[in-house]
Structure 1
Amino acid sequence: MTATGVVFRPQSPPEELRAVVEAVDASDVDELWLWEDCFLEGGLTTAAAALAWSSRVRVGIGLLPVPLRNPALAAMEIATLARLFPGRLVVALGHGVQAWMGQVGARAESPVTLLHEHTLAVRDLLRGETVSVSGRYVQLDAVALDWPPAPPPRLLVGARGPRTVSLAGEVSDGVLLDSVTDPDVVRRARAAVGPRAHVAAYTEVAPDAGDVRGWIGELAAAGADTVVLQAPGDAPDPRPLLTLL
């Protein structure tokens, strides 16, 4: 059965998060997703608060830009949340918006190479492995987490283009698709990542939308395992979407 979710967009101030978390947790919606857009709100900090303020809803971070963190630090933070709140965390990694990465001096010459190396390292650390890597961007020398989560949380890769979608199927548990307006995007991603991978899709929906359930059904039929509704940027509060669901 396809899971449903909504997005707390960081265009809303952080102090509004708790009310949204409590509303989602009291609803029938499965997941609450958080963004880490520069330079708005931190994904891991908001996720920690959302998990603490809720009792059942899964919290997704979509996504963490990999140029901003060493993979060992990312794995430590993710593992801590996963152990504190077992079964309720989903994390997506991505190469980030390159203009923003350039603003902070973290732009990589090959974003896909960095994403590949970083995701593999985080994945293996979360699995409890001892990781040594000497890559173009990632260097780790016999690093292992003392407190790996068991089982590790679902780890996705945020992707738009076919190359990154294929990468998601190779190095992670699946793919997070952004701004989906056509079920064919989901079909192509499903074909690329394979039947066992998880496909999650963000799709923007106005609060006065018509047949939202029908649209979710179309994306599910195309291969989406999770459909996450996001409100438009000029009205980012997701609570009106809860009534549609």
Structure 2
Amino acid sequence: MSTDLKLGLNLGYWQRNADDATEVVQAAERLGYDSVWTAEAYGSDAFTPLAWYGARTSRIKLGTSVVQISARTPAATAMTAMTLDHLTGGRLLLGVGASGPQVVEGWYGMPFPGPLARTREYVEIMRKVWRREEPVTSDGAHYPLPYPGGANLGKPLKLITHPLREEIPLYLGAEGPRNVALAGEIADGWLPLFALPEKTEQMYGPSLAGARPGFDIAAMVMVMITDDIKGALNGVKMMLTLYIGGMGAKSRNFHADIIGRMGYAEAAQEIQSLYLAGRRDEAFNAIPDELADGISLVGPAGRIRERLEPWRKSPVTSLLVMGPRDETSLRTVRDLVLG
């Protein structure tokens, strides 16, 4: 249980030149937000916008939510993270995740099987890179170093630049219980995309039983301050329609699975079936209002204050809010969460 929540701002994907959130990030820093986060899927990358905002701020922590491990080798991610951490004075929070088979195999052209083993190897290699204790080698099945074969001239190497920090905080984006358990074992934090605060302990308590002290559960939550509760919930439902219905294959959709574990298995199956059949309006209407309301914070400030209580009583330690993009809204959220 955490009564004192840290507050972060999740910007999601950068999408176009007009989507420069510098003023928003600077406002969040002035208002005392702990962190700002960027994301990637198969459009913009996560590191470049974060570097842009890092160059225009001085205190706020900078997180990736998340960097996809199939997009870069472990050494490449370790180098980029080290560089950004140096340039921003040790403010990086590196969130990584395995993504799903459609993106991994369809976009990156990499095999998806073994995501937990791949993630474990990936994290081990990055930490070896940052520690610079010896030339980096790995005998893992997924990222062997040096590469066995090819020109047969591979040589173990050590990072040329000394990192500012040899232990950059690592977060895992995870949804399944085994992947969450892996986060508790090897990472400094966990980035749940969907969280139902009343059920977080029930769903993940056993998985997180071995988490290290100070483990940060940084949950992403849509926040809309408005008197139009129905309209706000419709915004949440639009997002859920896409993730449950279309962000994954019919036979393997991790987002639909997590909604099922929240107690909405029949609804998730119906939403996915309708969406894949092209009946997207019906899929939208099949999303229960109580589900959309449970994973978000919407409505007037007083209602949001009441809805924050389950989050304070849950294992969640950080709220990464999605939605507020002006200083007035950021201040209201800050006062509600931290006040």
The aligned residue for residue 320 of structure 2 is 228
The aligned residue for residue 152 of structure 1 is 167
The aligned residue for residue 143 of structure 2 is 138
% identical equivalent positions: 23
What amino acid does structure 2 have at the position aligned with 1:127?
R
Give CA deviations for 1:83-119 in whole Å, capped at 9, x if unaligned: 2223321111100132122222124222222112112
What amino acid does structure 2 have at the position aligned with 1:179?
F
Aligned pairs, number: 239
Give CA deviations for 1:189-236 in whole Å, capped at 9, x if unaligned: 4553325122211112223224434444532431222111112xxxxx
Alignment CA distance shift 1:216-1:106 (3 Å): farther
Q: Distance in 2 between matches of 1:187 and 1:30?
A: 28
Greater share of helix residues, 1 or 2? 2
Q: Which residue, 128, 131, 142 being the options, matches 1:127?
A: 131
Q: Which residue, 21, 24, 42 being the options, matches 1:38?
A: 42
TM-score w.r.t. the length of structure 1 is 0.86
Please state if 1:207 is matched with 2:220: no
Q: Distance in 2 between matches of 1:122 and 1:50?
A: 24
Larger Rg: 2
CA contact (8 A) 1:186 1:219 kept: no
Give CA deviations for 1:27-55 in whole Å, capped at 9, x if unaligned: 2222111111212x211111111111112
CA contact (8 A) 1:31 1:58 kept: yes
Q: Distance in 2 between matches of 1:101 and 1:149?
A: 31
Stretches of structure 2 lacking an aligned partner (at least 5 in a row): 147-155, 227-297, 335-339
What amino acid does structure 1 have at the position aligned with 2:13?
P
CA contact (8 A) 2:184 2:212 kept: no
The aligned residue for residue 98 of structure 2 is 95
CA contact (8 A) 1:60 1:89 kept: yes
1:205 counterpart SS class: strand
Alignment CA distance shift 1:216-1:155 (3 Å): farther
Greater share of strand residues, 1 or 2? 1
CA RMSD across the alignment: 2.3
The aligned residue for residue 70 of structure 1 is 73
Stretches of structure 1 lacking an aligned partner (at least 5 in a row): 232-236
